[in-house]
A and B are shown apart, each in its own frame.
Chain A
Amino acid sequence: MTQKAVIEVRNVSFAFQGPPVLENVDLTIHDRESVCIVGPNGGGKTTLLRLLLGQLRPASGDIRIFGKSPQAARLQIGYMPQRAEYDPMFPVTVMDVVLMGRLGQPGFLGRIGWYGSADRRAALEALAQVHLEKEARRPFAALSGGQRQRVLIARALCSQPELLILDEPMANVDSLVERRLFDELRQLAGRMTLVLVSHDLGFVTNLVERVICINRQAVSHPTSQLTAEIIRDMYGGDVSVVRHGDVVCHKEHTHD
Protein backbone atom coordinates (compact mmCIF):
# COMPACT_ATOMS: atom_id res chain seq x y z
CA MET A 1 0.00 0.00 0.00
CA THR A 2 1.42 3.37 -0.95
CA GLN A 3 0.37 6.18 1.34
CA LYS A 4 -0.06 9.77 0.27
CA ALA A 5 2.91 11.88 1.32
CA VAL A 6 1.96 15.06 3.16
CA ILE A 7 5.47 16.36 3.82
CA GLU A 8 8.32 15.61 1.45
CA VAL A 9 11.76 16.96 2.23
CA ARG A 10 14.30 16.12 -0.46
CA ASN A 11 18.00 16.59 0.08
CA VAL A 12 17.53 19.89 1.90
CA SER A 13 20.45 21.88 3.28
CA PHE A 14 20.32 25.16 5.13
CA ALA A 15 22.83 27.50 6.75
CA PHE A 16 22.42 30.92 8.29
CA GLN A 17 26.06 31.97 8.21
CA GLY A 18 28.88 29.55 8.68
CA PRO A 19 28.44 25.80 9.07
CA PRO A 20 25.21 24.21 7.83
CA VAL A 21 22.37 23.84 10.33
CA LEU A 22 20.79 21.13 8.21
CA GLU A 23 22.62 19.03 5.67
CA ASN A 24 21.08 16.73 3.03
CA VAL A 25 17.94 16.13 5.02
CA ASP A 26 15.51 13.63 3.55
CA LEU A 27 12.19 13.13 5.21
CA THR A 28 8.74 11.90 4.23
CA ILE A 29 5.69 12.14 6.47
CA HIS A 30 2.54 10.41 5.28
CA ASP A 31 -1.12 11.24 5.53
CA ARG A 32 -2.57 10.72 9.07
CA GLU A 33 0.81 9.83 10.45
CA SER A 34 1.85 11.14 13.87
CA VAL A 35 5.50 11.96 14.34
CA CYS A 36 7.60 13.73 16.87
CA ILE A 37 10.68 15.77 16.06
CA VAL A 38 13.35 15.59 18.75
CA GLY A 39 16.97 16.54 18.99
CA PRO A 40 19.49 18.56 20.95
CA ASN A 41 19.26 22.34 21.22
CA GLY A 42 20.84 23.91 18.18
CA GLY A 43 20.40 20.67 16.27
CA GLY A 44 18.10 22.31 13.71
CA LYS A 45 14.58 21.46 14.96
CA THR A 46 13.36 25.04 14.81
CA THR A 47 15.06 25.61 11.47
CA LEU A 48 13.35 22.56 10.00
CA LEU A 49 10.01 23.80 11.30
CA ARG A 50 10.56 27.23 9.76
CA LEU A 51 11.43 25.60 6.47
CA LEU A 52 8.25 23.49 6.60
CA LEU A 53 6.18 26.62 7.29
CA GLY A 54 7.85 28.51 4.47
CA GLN A 55 9.37 31.15 6.75
CA LEU A 56 12.82 30.16 5.53
CA ARG A 57 13.81 28.85 2.12
CA PRO A 58 16.24 25.94 1.77
CA ALA A 59 19.70 26.74 0.40
CA SER A 60 19.43 23.60 -1.70
CA GLY A 61 16.95 20.78 -2.07
CA ASP A 62 13.19 20.86 -2.24
CA ILE A 63 10.28 20.85 0.20
CA ARG A 64 6.74 19.89 -0.82
CA ILE A 65 3.74 20.07 1.48
CA PHE A 66 0.62 18.46 0.00
CA GLY A 67 2.62 18.51 -3.26
CA LYS A 68 2.90 22.31 -3.14
CA SER A 69 5.47 24.81 -1.98
CA PRO A 70 5.32 25.49 1.79
CA GLN A 71 4.06 29.05 1.13
CA ALA A 72 1.22 27.79 -1.05
CA ALA A 73 0.27 25.12 1.49
CA ARG A 74 0.22 27.45 4.51
CA LEU A 75 -3.54 27.70 4.85
CA GLN A 76 -3.87 23.89 5.10
CA ILE A 77 -1.53 23.85 8.10
CA GLY A 78 -2.60 24.42 11.68
CA TYR A 79 0.35 25.76 13.64
CA MET A 80 0.91 26.32 17.33
CA PRO A 81 4.05 28.33 18.05
CA GLN A 82 6.30 27.59 20.98
CA ARG A 83 5.14 29.89 23.75
CA ALA A 84 5.87 33.35 22.46
CA GLU A 85 5.64 36.19 24.93
CA TYR A 86 2.37 38.01 24.54
CA ASP A 87 1.72 41.48 25.87
CA PRO A 88 -0.28 40.86 29.10
CA MET A 89 -2.00 44.22 28.60
CA PHE A 90 -3.27 43.29 25.14
CA PRO A 91 -7.08 43.50 25.19
CA VAL A 92 -8.22 40.24 23.59
CA THR A 93 -10.59 37.53 24.72
CA VAL A 94 -9.98 33.81 24.29
CA MET A 95 -12.52 33.83 21.44
CA ASP A 96 -10.67 36.68 19.68
CA VAL A 97 -7.45 34.68 19.77
CA VAL A 98 -9.01 31.45 18.51
CA LEU A 99 -10.81 33.29 15.70
CA MET A 100 -7.43 34.40 14.33
CA GLY A 101 -7.09 30.81 13.15
CA ARG A 102 -10.02 31.51 10.81
CA LEU A 103 -8.16 34.18 8.86
CA GLY A 104 -7.51 33.24 5.26
CA GLN A 105 -10.98 31.87 4.51
CA PRO A 106 -12.12 32.24 0.88
CA GLY A 107 -14.75 34.71 -0.31
CA PHE A 108 -14.97 38.48 -0.09
CA LEU A 109 -15.64 38.68 3.65
CA GLY A 110 -12.91 36.13 4.30
CA ARG A 111 -10.47 38.17 2.25
CA ILE A 112 -11.00 41.35 4.24
CA GLY A 113 -10.95 39.30 7.44
CA TRP A 114 -14.53 39.46 8.66
CA TYR A 115 -15.80 36.45 10.60
CA GLY A 116 -19.19 34.88 9.99
CA SER A 117 -21.29 32.49 12.04
CA ALA A 118 -19.50 29.49 10.52
CA ASP A 119 -16.19 30.91 11.79
CA ARG A 120 -17.60 31.42 15.28
CA ARG A 121 -18.99 27.90 15.30
CA ALA A 122 -15.64 26.45 14.22
CA ALA A 123 -13.87 28.47 16.93
CA LEU A 124 -16.23 27.21 19.64
CA GLU A 125 -15.83 23.64 18.41
CA ALA A 126 -12.07 23.98 18.52
CA LEU A 127 -12.29 25.35 22.07
CA ALA A 128 -14.53 22.44 23.03
CA GLN A 129 -11.86 20.03 21.77
CA VAL A 130 -9.41 21.42 24.31
CA HIS A 131 -12.20 21.68 26.93
CA LEU A 132 -12.10 25.45 27.20
CA GLU A 133 -15.44 26.40 25.65
CA LYS A 134 -16.56 27.90 28.95
CA GLU A 135 -13.62 30.32 28.92
CA ALA A 136 -14.44 31.78 25.48
CA ARG A 137 -15.37 35.22 26.78
CA ARG A 138 -12.58 35.58 29.33
CA PRO A 139 -9.56 37.80 28.69
CA PHE A 140 -6.71 35.77 27.23
CA ALA A 141 -4.29 37.26 29.77
CA ALA A 142 -6.45 36.03 32.70
CA LEU A 143 -5.82 32.36 31.86
CA SER A 144 -3.09 30.18 33.32
CA GLY A 145 -0.06 29.29 31.21
CA GLY A 146 -1.40 25.82 30.48
CA GLN A 147 -4.81 27.14 29.49
CA ARG A 148 -3.23 29.70 27.17
CA GLN A 149 -1.25 26.89 25.56
CA ARG A 150 -4.48 24.98 24.90
CA VAL A 151 -6.12 28.11 23.49
CA LEU A 152 -3.25 28.31 21.01
CA ILE A 153 -3.86 24.66 20.10
CA ALA A 154 -7.54 25.53 19.54
CA ARG A 155 -6.45 28.44 17.35
CA ALA A 156 -4.40 26.00 15.27
CA LEU A 157 -7.32 23.55 15.10
CA CYS A 158 -10.08 25.93 14.15
CA SER A 159 -8.98 26.30 10.54
CA GLN A 160 -9.77 22.56 10.29
CA PRO A 161 -6.25 21.81 9.08
CA GLU A 162 -5.12 18.63 7.38
CA LEU A 163 -1.70 18.99 8.97
CA LEU A 164 -1.19 20.08 12.56
CA ILE A 165 2.23 21.28 13.70
CA LEU A 166 2.69 21.83 17.43
CA ASP A 167 5.96 23.31 18.66
CA GLU A 168 6.64 22.19 22.25
CA PRO A 169 3.01 21.75 23.30
CA MET A 170 4.14 20.51 26.72
CA ALA A 171 6.18 23.56 27.68
CA ASN A 172 4.69 25.41 30.68
CA VAL A 173 2.16 22.67 31.34
CA ASP A 174 1.97 20.95 34.71
CA SER A 175 1.63 17.19 34.95
CA LEU A 176 -2.10 17.20 35.61
CA VAL A 177 -2.82 19.27 32.53
CA GLU A 178 -0.26 17.24 30.62
CA ARG A 179 -2.36 14.10 31.06
CA ARG A 180 -5.40 15.88 29.70
CA LEU A 181 -3.46 17.40 26.82
CA PHE A 182 -2.16 13.93 26.04
CA ASP A 183 -5.72 12.59 25.72
CA GLU A 184 -6.72 15.52 23.57
CA LEU A 185 -3.77 15.04 21.25
CA ARG A 186 -4.40 11.29 21.04
CA GLN A 187 -7.92 12.01 19.81
CA LEU A 188 -6.53 14.29 17.13
CA ALA A 189 -3.79 11.92 16.09
CA GLY A 190 -5.93 9.59 14.00
CA ARG A 191 -7.82 12.34 12.23
CA MET A 192 -5.02 14.42 10.75
CA THR A 193 -1.31 14.42 10.16
CA LEU A 194 0.33 15.43 13.41
CA VAL A 195 3.86 16.78 13.78
CA LEU A 196 5.04 17.52 17.31
CA VAL A 197 8.27 19.06 18.46
CA SER A 198 9.05 17.95 21.96
CA HIS A 199 11.79 17.59 24.49
CA ASP A 200 9.70 15.18 26.48
CA LEU A 201 10.17 11.80 24.85
CA GLY A 202 8.25 9.99 27.56
CA PHE A 203 5.20 12.00 26.72
CA VAL A 204 5.30 11.38 23.02
CA THR A 205 6.30 7.74 22.71
CA ASN A 206 2.75 6.62 23.40
CA LEU A 207 1.34 9.21 21.06
CA VAL A 208 3.35 9.02 17.87
CA GLU A 209 4.37 6.27 15.52
CA ARG A 210 7.75 7.67 14.65
CA VAL A 211 10.37 9.80 16.30
CA ILE A 212 12.49 11.90 13.96
CA CYS A 213 15.84 12.83 15.35
CA ILE A 214 17.19 16.11 13.99
CA ASN A 215 20.85 16.80 14.53
CA ARG A 216 22.06 18.42 11.31
CA GLN A 217 20.57 15.37 9.61
CA ALA A 218 17.27 13.61 10.04
CA VAL A 219 16.99 10.02 11.18
CA SER A 220 13.66 8.28 11.73
CA HIS A 221 13.03 5.73 14.43
CA PRO A 222 9.77 3.84 14.75
CA THR A 223 8.60 4.37 18.32
CA SER A 224 8.50 0.63 18.93
CA GLN A 225 12.22 0.35 18.27
CA LEU A 226 13.40 3.15 20.56
CA THR A 227 16.14 2.11 22.89
CA ALA A 228 17.79 3.94 25.73
CA GLU A 229 20.91 3.97 23.60
CA ILE A 230 19.17 5.67 20.68
CA ILE A 231 17.73 8.26 23.00
CA ARG A 232 21.14 8.90 24.50
CA ASP A 233 22.54 9.43 21.03
CA MET A 234 19.75 11.82 20.13
CA TYR A 235 20.56 14.16 22.94
CA GLY A 236 24.26 13.53 23.05
CA GLY A 237 24.15 12.63 26.73
CA ASP A 238 22.18 10.91 29.42
CA VAL A 239 18.54 11.75 29.72
CA SER A 240 16.02 10.26 32.03
CA VAL A 241 13.08 8.97 30.08
CA VAL A 242 9.83 8.10 31.79
CA ARG A 243 8.16 5.40 29.80
CA HIS A 244 4.44 4.88 30.04
CA GLY A 245 4.77 1.19 30.71
CA ASP A 246 5.86 -0.27 27.41
CA VAL A 247 8.89 -2.37 26.76
CA VAL A 248 12.02 -0.84 25.44
CA CYS A 249 13.31 -2.89 22.59
CA HIS A 250 16.99 -3.63 22.91
CA LYS A 251 18.40 -3.24 19.50
CA GLU A 252 21.60 -1.81 18.16
CA HIS A 253 21.34 1.87 17.30
CA THR A 254 23.04 2.96 14.16
CA HIS A 255 22.58 6.13 12.17
CA ASP A 256 23.65 4.70 8.83
Chain B
Amino acid sequence: MIEFIEALLNPYVPTMRYALAAGILSSVALGIVGTYVITRRISYIAGAISHSVLGGIGAALYLKAVHGWTWCDPMYGAVAAAMLSALLIGTVSLYAKQREDTVIGAIWAVGMAIGLLFFAKTPGYADPMSYLFGNILLISRSDLWLVVGLDALVVGLGIVFYNKFLAVCFDQEFAQLRGVHVTFYYLLLLCLTALTIVLLMRVVGIVLVIAMLTLPAAVAGHFSRQLWQMMLFAIAGCMIFTVAGLALSYRYELPSGPVIIVVAAMFYLGVAIVRWLAKAV
Protein backbone atom coordinates (compact mmCIF):
# COMPACT_ATOMS: atom_id res chain seq x y z
CA MET B 1 0.00 0.00 0.00
CA ILE B 2 2.86 2.36 0.86
CA GLU B 3 4.53 1.62 -2.47
CA PHE B 4 1.26 2.51 -4.20
CA ILE B 5 1.07 5.88 -2.45
CA GLU B 6 4.70 6.52 -3.29
CA ALA B 7 3.99 5.73 -6.93
CA LEU B 8 1.08 8.18 -6.88
CA LEU B 9 3.30 10.92 -5.45
CA ASN B 10 6.24 10.27 -7.78
CA PRO B 11 6.48 13.47 -9.85
CA TYR B 12 8.22 11.75 -12.78
CA VAL B 13 5.68 9.00 -13.34
CA PRO B 14 2.19 10.43 -13.96
CA THR B 15 0.74 7.06 -15.07
CA MET B 16 -0.61 6.03 -11.69
CA ARG B 17 -2.12 9.45 -11.07
CA TYR B 18 -3.81 9.45 -14.48
CA ALA B 19 -5.16 5.95 -13.97
CA LEU B 20 -6.49 6.83 -10.53
CA ALA B 21 -8.06 10.07 -11.79
CA ALA B 22 -9.70 8.29 -14.74
CA GLY B 23 -10.98 5.54 -12.44
CA ILE B 24 -12.43 7.91 -9.86
CA LEU B 25 -13.96 10.27 -12.42
CA SER B 26 -15.58 7.51 -14.44
CA SER B 27 -16.95 5.92 -11.24
CA VAL B 28 -19.56 8.67 -11.07
CA ALA B 29 -20.84 7.93 -14.58
CA LEU B 30 -20.56 4.16 -14.04
CA GLY B 31 -22.63 4.29 -10.85
CA ILE B 32 -25.44 6.32 -12.41
CA VAL B 33 -25.60 4.62 -15.79
CA GLY B 34 -24.93 1.17 -14.30
CA THR B 35 -27.97 1.57 -12.05
CA TYR B 36 -30.16 2.34 -15.08
CA VAL B 37 -28.63 -0.58 -17.01
CA ILE B 38 -29.36 -3.03 -14.17
CA THR B 39 -32.92 -1.86 -13.51
CA ARG B 40 -33.82 -1.63 -17.20
CA ARG B 41 -32.18 -5.07 -17.67
CA ILE B 42 -30.05 -4.20 -20.66
CA SER B 43 -26.62 -5.45 -19.56
CA TYR B 44 -26.59 -7.77 -22.57
CA ILE B 45 -27.13 -4.79 -24.87
CA ALA B 46 -24.45 -2.82 -23.02
CA GLY B 47 -22.09 -5.77 -23.58
CA ALA B 48 -22.74 -5.70 -27.31
CA ILE B 49 -22.14 -1.94 -27.49
CA SER B 50 -18.87 -2.16 -25.60
CA HIS B 51 -17.44 -4.96 -27.73
CA SER B 52 -18.32 -3.35 -31.03
CA VAL B 53 -16.39 -0.25 -29.94
CA LEU B 54 -13.27 -2.08 -31.12
CA GLY B 55 -14.36 -1.36 -34.71
CA GLY B 56 -14.09 2.38 -34.07
CA ILE B 57 -10.75 2.09 -32.32
CA GLY B 58 -9.30 0.06 -35.19
CA ALA B 59 -10.65 2.49 -37.77
CA ALA B 60 -9.19 5.48 -35.92
CA LEU B 61 -5.74 3.87 -35.62
CA TYR B 62 -5.83 2.91 -39.30
CA LEU B 63 -6.81 6.41 -40.46
CA LYS B 64 -4.14 7.92 -38.26
CA ALA B 65 -1.36 5.66 -39.57
CA VAL B 66 -2.33 5.24 -43.22
CA HIS B 67 -4.08 8.50 -44.11
CA GLY B 68 -2.08 10.71 -41.83
CA TRP B 69 -5.07 11.92 -39.78
CA THR B 70 -2.81 12.70 -36.84
CA TRP B 71 -5.66 14.24 -34.81
CA CYS B 72 -7.63 11.03 -35.04
CA ASP B 73 -7.11 9.60 -31.57
CA PRO B 74 -8.47 6.09 -30.87
CA MET B 75 -10.67 7.66 -28.20
CA TYR B 76 -12.53 9.65 -30.89
CA GLY B 77 -12.98 6.48 -32.91
CA ALA B 78 -14.27 4.75 -29.79
CA VAL B 79 -16.78 7.53 -29.07
CA ALA B 80 -18.05 7.48 -32.67
CA ALA B 81 -18.32 3.69 -32.79
CA ALA B 82 -19.98 3.54 -29.37
CA MET B 83 -22.66 6.05 -30.36
CA LEU B 84 -23.22 4.37 -33.71
CA SER B 85 -23.61 0.91 -32.26
CA ALA B 86 -25.80 2.23 -29.42
CA LEU B 87 -28.22 3.75 -31.93
CA LEU B 88 -28.05 0.72 -34.22
CA ILE B 89 -28.56 -1.82 -31.45
CA GLY B 90 -31.22 0.36 -29.82
CA THR B 91 -33.19 0.58 -33.05
CA VAL B 92 -32.81 -3.15 -33.64
CA SER B 93 -33.99 -4.01 -30.14
CA LEU B 94 -37.03 -1.74 -30.57
CA TYR B 95 -38.13 -2.98 -33.98
CA ALA B 96 -36.81 -6.55 -34.37
CA LYS B 97 -38.61 -7.92 -31.34
CA GLN B 98 -38.49 -11.64 -32.14
CA ARG B 99 -34.94 -11.82 -33.45
CA GLU B 100 -33.49 -9.18 -31.14
CA ASP B 101 -30.84 -11.40 -29.56
CA THR B 102 -29.68 -12.79 -32.89
CA VAL B 103 -29.12 -9.38 -34.44
CA ILE B 104 -27.48 -7.95 -31.33
CA GLY B 105 -25.15 -10.93 -31.09
CA ALA B 106 -24.16 -10.38 -34.70
CA ILE B 107 -23.43 -6.65 -34.22
CA TRP B 108 -21.33 -7.59 -31.18
CA ALA B 109 -19.08 -9.86 -33.25
CA VAL B 110 -19.09 -7.82 -36.46
CA GLY B 111 -17.88 -4.71 -34.59
CA MET B 112 -14.97 -6.68 -33.18
CA ALA B 113 -14.20 -8.29 -36.54
CA ILE B 114 -14.04 -4.91 -38.29
CA GLY B 115 -11.73 -3.63 -35.57
CA LEU B 116 -9.37 -6.59 -35.90
CA LEU B 117 -9.25 -6.17 -39.69
CA PHE B 118 -8.23 -2.52 -39.28
CA PHE B 119 -5.61 -3.55 -36.72
CA ALA B 120 -4.21 -6.07 -39.20
CA LYS B 121 -3.85 -3.43 -41.93
CA THR B 122 -2.42 -0.74 -39.67
CA PRO B 123 1.34 -0.46 -40.11
CA GLY B 124 3.55 -0.28 -37.03
CA TYR B 125 2.83 -1.64 -33.62
CA ALA B 126 -0.85 -1.66 -32.70
CA ASP B 127 -1.98 -4.13 -30.11
CA PRO B 128 -5.69 -4.81 -29.76
CA MET B 129 -5.07 -6.42 -26.38
CA SER B 130 -4.46 -3.11 -24.62
CA TYR B 131 -7.84 -1.83 -25.83
CA LEU B 132 -9.67 -5.04 -25.04
CA PHE B 133 -8.34 -5.43 -21.52
CA GLY B 134 -7.02 -1.97 -20.66
CA ASN B 135 -3.53 -0.59 -20.30
CA ILE B 136 -3.00 2.29 -17.94
CA LEU B 137 0.36 3.05 -19.53
CA LEU B 138 -1.53 4.39 -22.55
CA ILE B 139 -3.43 7.08 -20.62
CA SER B 140 -2.34 10.54 -21.70
CA ARG B 141 -3.18 13.94 -20.32
CA SER B 142 -5.49 14.67 -23.25
CA ASP B 143 -7.30 11.38 -22.63
CA LEU B 144 -7.94 12.55 -19.13
CA TRP B 145 -9.54 15.78 -20.37
CA LEU B 146 -11.77 13.81 -22.68
CA VAL B 147 -12.76 11.63 -19.71
CA VAL B 148 -13.62 14.76 -17.71
CA GLY B 149 -15.78 16.14 -20.54
CA LEU B 150 -17.66 12.90 -21.23
CA ASP B 151 -18.12 12.26 -17.52
CA ALA B 152 -19.71 15.68 -17.04
CA LEU B 153 -22.03 15.08 -20.01
CA VAL B 154 -23.14 11.61 -18.90
CA VAL B 155 -23.61 12.58 -15.25
CA GLY B 156 -25.44 15.79 -16.18
CA LEU B 157 -27.92 14.09 -18.50
CA GLY B 158 -28.32 11.13 -16.15
CA ILE B 159 -29.30 13.45 -13.30
CA VAL B 160 -31.43 15.97 -15.22
CA PHE B 161 -33.67 13.25 -16.68
CA TYR B 162 -33.67 11.11 -13.52
CA ASN B 163 -37.44 10.93 -13.14
CA LYS B 164 -38.01 10.15 -16.81
CA PHE B 165 -35.39 7.41 -16.79
CA LEU B 166 -36.87 6.04 -13.57
CA ALA B 167 -40.33 5.88 -15.14
CA VAL B 168 -39.00 4.30 -18.34
CA CYS B 169 -37.03 1.69 -16.39
CA PHE B 170 -39.89 0.87 -14.01
CA ASP B 171 -42.92 0.84 -16.31
CA GLN B 172 -42.33 1.83 -19.90
CA GLU B 173 -45.95 1.47 -20.96
CA PHE B 174 -47.22 3.79 -18.26
CA ALA B 175 -44.44 6.31 -18.93
CA GLN B 176 -45.53 6.47 -22.56
CA LEU B 177 -49.13 7.13 -21.54
CA ARG B 178 -47.89 10.03 -19.42
CA GLY B 179 -46.46 11.61 -22.56
CA VAL B 180 -42.85 10.47 -22.01
CA HIS B 181 -41.12 9.88 -25.34
CA VAL B 182 -39.95 6.40 -24.35
CA THR B 183 -38.05 5.62 -27.57
CA PHE B 184 -36.01 8.80 -27.20
CA TYR B 185 -35.13 8.08 -23.56
CA TYR B 186 -34.28 4.45 -24.32
CA LEU B 187 -31.88 5.50 -27.09
CA LEU B 188 -30.47 8.29 -24.91
CA LEU B 189 -29.85 5.76 -22.16
CA LEU B 190 -27.99 3.50 -24.60
CA CYS B 191 -25.90 6.49 -25.80
CA LEU B 192 -25.00 7.37 -22.21
CA THR B 193 -24.08 3.71 -21.66
CA ALA B 194 -21.88 3.84 -24.77
CA LEU B 195 -20.06 6.97 -23.59
CA THR B 196 -19.56 5.50 -20.12
CA ILE B 197 -17.93 2.45 -21.68
CA VAL B 198 -15.44 4.71 -23.48
CA LEU B 199 -14.61 6.48 -20.19
CA LEU B 200 -13.08 3.40 -18.67
CA MET B 201 -11.67 1.99 -21.91
CA ARG B 202 -8.06 2.78 -21.03
CA VAL B 203 -8.23 1.52 -17.46
CA VAL B 204 -10.11 -1.79 -17.72
CA GLY B 205 -10.65 -2.16 -21.47
CA ILE B 206 -13.84 -2.59 -23.51
CA VAL B 207 -14.29 -6.29 -22.80
CA LEU B 208 -14.01 -5.98 -19.05
CA VAL B 209 -15.86 -2.67 -18.62
CA ILE B 210 -19.26 -4.37 -18.68
CA ALA B 211 -18.45 -5.86 -15.26
CA MET B 212 -17.79 -2.39 -13.84
CA LEU B 213 -21.10 -1.22 -15.23
CA THR B 214 -23.07 -4.05 -13.63
CA LEU B 215 -21.30 -5.44 -10.54
CA PRO B 216 -21.17 -2.28 -8.37
CA ALA B 217 -24.80 -1.43 -9.21
CA ALA B 218 -25.85 -5.02 -8.49
CA VAL B 219 -24.16 -4.88 -5.07
CA ALA B 220 -25.75 -1.48 -4.41
CA GLY B 221 -29.18 -2.84 -5.30
CA HIS B 222 -29.14 -5.00 -2.17
CA PHE B 223 -28.93 -1.98 0.11
CA SER B 224 -31.16 0.55 -1.63
CA ARG B 225 -34.77 1.58 -1.20
CA GLN B 226 -34.66 4.20 -3.91
CA LEU B 227 -32.93 4.48 -7.24
CA TRP B 228 -30.77 7.46 -6.25
CA GLN B 229 -29.46 5.54 -3.23
CA MET B 230 -28.52 2.69 -5.51
CA MET B 231 -26.61 5.19 -7.66
CA LEU B 232 -24.70 6.65 -4.70
CA PHE B 233 -23.75 3.20 -3.38
CA ALA B 234 -22.74 2.09 -6.87
CA ILE B 235 -20.52 5.18 -7.30
CA ALA B 236 -18.85 4.50 -3.94
CA GLY B 237 -18.41 0.83 -4.87
CA CYS B 238 -16.87 1.72 -8.24
CA MET B 239 -14.41 4.07 -6.58
CA ILE B 240 -13.40 1.52 -3.95
CA PHE B 241 -13.00 -1.28 -6.52
CA THR B 242 -10.86 0.83 -8.89
CA VAL B 243 -8.61 2.22 -6.15
CA ALA B 244 -8.19 -1.19 -4.50
CA GLY B 245 -7.66 -2.84 -7.86
CA LEU B 246 -5.02 -0.33 -8.94
CA ALA B 247 -3.19 -0.64 -5.60
CA LEU B 248 -3.20 -4.45 -5.72
CA SER B 249 -2.12 -4.54 -9.35
CA TYR B 250 0.78 -2.23 -8.55
CA ARG B 251 1.79 -4.19 -5.48
CA TYR B 252 1.75 -7.59 -7.20
CA GLU B 253 2.77 -6.38 -10.67
CA LEU B 254 -0.42 -7.54 -12.34
CA PRO B 255 -2.43 -5.96 -15.17
CA SER B 256 -4.76 -3.45 -13.52
CA GLY B 257 -7.96 -4.08 -15.55
CA PRO B 258 -8.40 -7.74 -14.61
CA VAL B 259 -7.47 -7.06 -10.96
CA ILE B 260 -10.15 -4.35 -10.69
CA ILE B 261 -12.75 -6.70 -12.16
CA VAL B 262 -11.80 -9.59 -9.87
CA VAL B 263 -11.97 -7.31 -6.81
CA ALA B 264 -15.46 -6.18 -7.85
CA ALA B 265 -16.57 -9.76 -8.52
CA MET B 266 -15.29 -11.00 -5.15
CA PHE B 267 -17.15 -8.21 -3.41
CA TYR B 268 -20.33 -9.05 -5.31
CA LEU B 269 -20.00 -12.72 -4.46
CA GLY B 270 -19.27 -11.93 -0.81
CA VAL B 271 -22.38 -9.77 -0.49
CA ALA B 272 -24.52 -12.41 -2.21
CA ILE B 273 -23.26 -15.15 0.15
CA VAL B 274 -23.73 -13.04 3.29
CA ARG B 275 -27.27 -12.17 2.25
CA TRP B 276 -28.04 -15.79 1.44
CA LEU B 277 -26.74 -16.90 4.83
CA ALA B 278 -28.68 -14.15 6.59
CA LYS B 279 -31.87 -15.37 4.92
CA ALA B 280 -31.15 -19.02 5.69
CA VAL B 281 -30.44 -18.49 9.39
List A residues at the B interface (Cβ < 8 Å). 53, 55, 74-75, 77, 79, 81, 84, 86-87, 89-93, 96-97, 99-101, 103-104, 112-115, 139, 155, 159
Distance between Cα atoms of A227 and B227 in the complex (Å):
51
Tell me whether B171 and A139 are in contact (CB under 8 A): no
Tell me whether B164 and A103 are in contact (CB under 8 A): yes
Instruction: Encode contact with A along B17-50: 1 for CB under 8 Å, 0 otherwise.
Output: 0000000000000000000000101000000000
Query: Which residue of chain B is the closest to A139 with respect to CB atoms?
Result: B225
Tell me whether A77 and B224 are in contact (CB under 8 A): no
Of B125-133, B174-182, B197-205, the segment with at least 4 beta carbons within 8 Å of chain A is B174-182
Which of chain B's residues have a CB closer than 8 A to the CB of A114?
163
Distance between Cα atoms of A95 and B206 in the complex (Å):
38
Tell me whether A103 and B163 are in contact (CB under 8 A): yes
Report the minimum CB–CB distance from B216 to chain A (whole Å).
Answer: 14
**CB contact under 8 A between A100 and B229, given known A91-B221, A92-B166, A114-B163:** no
**CB contact under 8 A between A100 and B167, given known A93-B226, A112-B160, A113-B162:** yes
**CB contact under 8 A between A99 and B177, given known A84-B171, A91-B229:** no
Which of chain B's residues have a CB closer than 8 A to the CB of A84?
171, 173
**CB contact under 8 A between A74 and B177, given known A96-B226, A112-B161:** yes
Contact of A79 among B164, B170, B177 (CB under 8 A): B177
Distance between Cα atoms of A96 and B176 in the complex (Å):
17
Q: Max chain A CB contacts within 10 Å: which of B164, B173, B180, B225?
A: B225
Q: Determine whether B230 belongs to the interface, using a CB cutoff of 8 Å to chain A.
A: yes
List B residues at the A interface (Cβ < 8 Å). 39, 41, 160-164, 166-167, 169-171, 173-180, 221, 224-227, 229-230
Distance between Cα atoms of A90 and B35 in the complex (Å):
10
Given contacts A91-B224, A100-B175, 8 further A-B contacts (CB under 8 A): A74-B178, A84-B171, A91-B221, A96-B166, A101-B178, A103-B163, A113-B164, A114-B163
Distance between Cα atoms of A109 and B251 in the complex (Å):
50
Query: Number of A-B pairs whose CB atoms are under 8 Å?
Result: 77
Query: Which residue of chain B is the closest to A165 with respect to CB atoms?
Result: B177
Tell me whether A103 and B221 are in contact (CB under 8 A): no
Distance between Cα atoms of A97 and B175 in the complex (Å):
11
Distance between Cα atoms of A99 and B226 in the complex (Å):
13
Tell me whether A159 and B226 are in contact (CB under 8 A): no
Which of chain B's residues have a CB closer than 8 A to the CB of A87?
39, 41
Which of chain A's residues have a CB closer than 8 A to the CB of B160?
112
Which of chain A's residues have a CB closer than 8 A to the CB of B175?
100, 103
Distance between Cα atoms of A79 and B170 in the complex (Å):
16
Tell me whether A92 and B178 are in contact (CB under 8 A): no
Which of chain B's residues have a CB closer than 8 A to the CB of A92?
166, 170, 226-227
Report the minimum CB–CB distance from A80 to chain B (whole Å).
Answer: 9
Tell me whether A103 and B167 are in contact (CB under 8 A): yes
Which of chain B's residues have a CB closer than 8 A to the CB of A159?
178
Which of chain B's residues have a CB closer than 8 A to the CB of A75?
178-179
Which of chain A's residues have a CB closer than 8 A to the CB of B167?
100, 103, 113
**CB contact under 8 A between A113 and B225, given known A81-B173, A84-B173, A104-B178:** no
Which 4 A/B pairs are nearest by Cβ-Cβ distance? A104-B179, A113-B163, A103-B178, A113-B164
**CB contact under 8 A between A100 and B177, given known A89-B221, A91-B227:** no
Report the minimum CB–CB distance from A46 to chain B (whole Å).
Answer: 12
Tell me whether B178 and A100 are in contact (CB under 8 A): yes
Report the minimum CB–CB distance from A110 to chain B (whole Å).
Answer: 10
Query: Which residue of chain B is the closest to A89 with respect to CB atoms?
Result: B221
Distance between Cα atoms of A90 and B169 in the complex (Å):
9
Report the minimum CB–CB distance from B236 to chain A (whole Å).
Answer: 15
Report the minimum CB–CB distance from B237 to chain A (whole Å).
Answer: 15
